[in-house]
Amino acid sequence: MGTGKRGLLTAALTVICAVTVLAAPGTAFAAPAPLPVPAPTPTATPPPDKDLEEVREKLDRLYHDAAVATDAYNGAEEKAKKQSAEITALTKKITQGRQRLAELKDRAGAAARDQYRTGGLSPTAQFLLSDDPGQFLDGAGRVLQGQQATKTLITEVARAQQDLREYADDAAARWKELEADRKARAAAQRKIRRQIDTAEKLQSRLEKKQKERLAQLEREAAAKAQTAWLDTGVLDRADGTTSVQGDEAVRYATAQLGKPYVWGAEGPDSFDCSGLTSQAWAAAGHPVPRTSQEQWRQLPHVDIKDMRPGDLIIYFDDASHVAMYIGDGRIIHAPRPGRTVTVAGAGSMPVLGVVRPNATDPSHGRPHATAPSHGRPHATVPAHGRPDA
């Protein structure tokens, strides 16, 4: 066999052996490692609506408590202003009283000096010693007048001293009340901040989608309440007229739309609920009490079916929120922290009653531009739950 053929045969055998080894059973191979399969990314499952509804109700309670505390703060603030004004007036009276008392004492001193110059003799002794009895009798008349004047002077001094004591006592009482109201304001302020902080922390734990769903639940609850309120026929008798002052108040409130809620604020850049309504009516030339509770207590009540634009609707059993009715079943109000002055359905919160600041004004002005149509609100009527007054 030639050399060339032997080489080809050797190569062929080598290939056959290799194939045989590869095909032999039990031969181990290093299998390629499978590609790693990434673990599924965990996704946050939003809580069911039931849980979010509980969150909404808890937020409502927190903001409601803050509203009550805000009304207490505003009430104490108003009392403090009044007491400060009374203290200022009393201080002025005390200053004037001291000046009057000093003048009276000067007059008393002059009378005493005159008596000293006469030697302190009795009128009888002066008559006996006088060279001219007729002149003495004339002088005696003047003495009697002087005695009467002295008696009057003494009475005036005593009265001035008594007035000063009363002014001082009144001022001390006002200072005591002022200090009590300062403590009440501080306590209310702490409660407001505590309630708002708790609410904000509760909301901060929610994911974006949860917050969106929570807002949707609020809108749905408000729309449901508004529809139920309209179904009672509450607007069937509304005639859509308003007073001139009512129009002015509505105009002022409308101009504040979009401004932020800040507790204790009464404009011009921010408002709380009663700050908005009190400033609106002040702008209309008819001042009203500062707080929602005092507005409910002091202003004339009207039947809810007779309400007209400009009237104030008081909400919740404790009168902790107030809004301005603008017609067509709607209100303008400053809802709560984190919100702005907005339009909402008048029945979106539990109504306590309606008050009319200018109930004694017989003028109804002209028909209001947004006379009630008794239609249903859109499902997106703003819902703000319980407000912060």
Q: Which of 110-119, 136-145, 160-169 has the lowest mean pLDDT?
A: 136-145
161 and 295 part of one domain: no
69 and 116 part of one domain: yes
**What is the per-residue pLDDT across 9-45, written as a single tens digit (0 to 9) for each?**
344 334 334 333 333 444 343 444 454 545 544 444 4
Rounded to 5°, angle at Cα 364 from 363 and 368 = 155
Under 8 Å between Cβ of 358 and 299: no
Q: Is residue 42 part of a domain?
A: no
Q: Is residue 85 part of a domain?
A: yes
Average pLDDT over residues 294-309: 93
Query: Terminal CA-to-CA distance of the chain, rounded, Å?
Result: 115
For residue 268, whether the previous peptide bond is cis, meaning omega lies within 30 degrees of 0, is: yes
Burial grade of 19 (CB within 10 A; 0-12, 13-18, 19 or more):
exposed
Under 8 Å between Cβ of 223 and 264: no
Measure the CA–CA gap between 99 and 97, rounded to whole angstroms: 5
Average pLDDT over residues 246-272: 96
Under 8 Å between Cβ of 301 and 352: no
Q: Nearest Cα to 320, choosing from 53, 57, 61?
A: 61
314 and 234 part of one domain: yes
Q: What is the token pair recorded at 312? A: 């104030």
Of residues 290 and 205, the one with the higher pLDDT is 290
Between the alpha carbon of residue 301 and those of residues 136, 284, 290, 306, 314, the distances in Å are 77, 19, 17, 10, 10
Q: What is the token pair recorded at 202? A: 């509760």
38 in helix, strand or coil? coil
| DSSP code string of 368-381 | -TT----PPPPTT-
Answer yes or no: is pLDDT of 71 > 50: yes
Q: Is residue 86 part of a domain?
A: yes
Measure the CA–CA gap between 200 and 65, rounded to whole angstroms: 14
Q: Is residue 113 part of a domain?
A: yes
**What is the per-residue pLDDT across 209-226, written as a single tens digit (0 to 9) for each?**
888 888 888 889 999 999
Q: Is residue 374 part of a domain?
A: no
pLDDT at position 142 is 54
179 and 240 part of one domain: no
Domain residue limits at 269: 208-355
pLDDT at position 333 is 97
Q: Is residue 196 part of a domain?
A: yes
List beta partners, residue 353.
Answer: 314
Number of domains into which the chain is organized: 2
Name the residues annotated as catalytic: 273, 321, 333
Whole-number CA gyration radius for the chain: 44
237 and 184 part of one domain: no
216 and 134 part of one domain: no
The residue out of 179, 201, 223 marking a domain boundary is 201
Measure the CA–CA gap between 76 and 234, rounded to whole angstroms: 36
212 and 175 part of one domain: no
Tell me the pTM. 0.63
180 and 215 part of one domain: no
Q: Which of 138-147, 187-196, 226-235, 269-278 has the lowest mean pLDDT?
A: 138-147
Q: Is residue 182 part of a domain?
A: yes
Q: Nearest Cα to 329, choosing from 378, 265, 364?
A: 378
